[in-house]
Amino acid sequence: MNKNFPIKKLAVSIVAAMLLLCLYRIIFSFSGQDGETSGGLSYMISEKCVDFISNLTGKGWTDGFRVSLAEYFEHPIRKFAHFAEYACMGLLVYTMWRPWKKPDRKLYFLVILWVLLSAAGDEIHQLFVPGRWGSVADVLLDTCGGIFGILCCVTCEYFCLRRRKRKMKYKK
């Protein structure tokens, strides 16, 4: 094999692409759930969060209060899940392309466009699932999640570079 071949770059991109495919599979399976199943899953997660907080605080909330809190937090938890999925997507797409492109506006635009088109495709998919609908607001929320993922990568790169420079300064 050629000594100049960037095997580390390729390995990073392949791992990120494989994880991205897994994430697409997860998103597609969640989007393929009918409205009742999807709502039930969100409610169950909301219920578990309320139970956890109740146990953590030791307040001993009544069942009625727990149910009302679970209902109240179901929608925000569902939206946070959207945001988090696409933050991971932004992170993975950025990680996949970063070894091959310098971090500049073109790379950021490419990743944001990728996430935006993925989010739009996901919402179009939901139009064909019983009890589900597509939402422009969800596309925007998902894209914001992707931007957050990119910002996490850029922030980590910044601090790693700063730390490396500091180490080099002390070695002199």
The pLDDT of 36-51, averaged and rounded, is 87
Indicate the burial class of 56 (C-beta count within 10 angstroms; 0-12, 13-18, 19 or more).
exposed
pLDDT on residue 162: 86
Could you report the per-residue pLDDT of 111-168, keeping only the tens digit for each? 999 999 999 999 999 999 988 888 999 999 999 999 999 999 999 999 998 888 877 7
Return all residues near 34 (Cβ < 8 A) that are at least 6 apart: 129, 130, 131, 132
pLDDT on residue 171: 67
pLDDT at 172 > cutoff 80: no
What type of residue sits at position 90?
Answer: G
pLDDT at 169 > cutoff 80: no
**pLDDT mean across residues, the chain:** 90
Q: What pTM value is reported for the model?
A: 0.84
Band (54; pLDDT cuts 50, 70, 90): confident
C-alpha angle 49/53/55, rounded to 5°? 115
pLDDT on residue 23: 97
pLDDT on residue 115: 98
Could you report the per-residue pLDDT of 80-95, keeping only the tens digit for each? 999 999 999 999 999 9
pLDDT on residue 4: 65
Return all residues near 77 (Cβ < 8 A) that are at least 6 apart: 42, 45, 46, 49
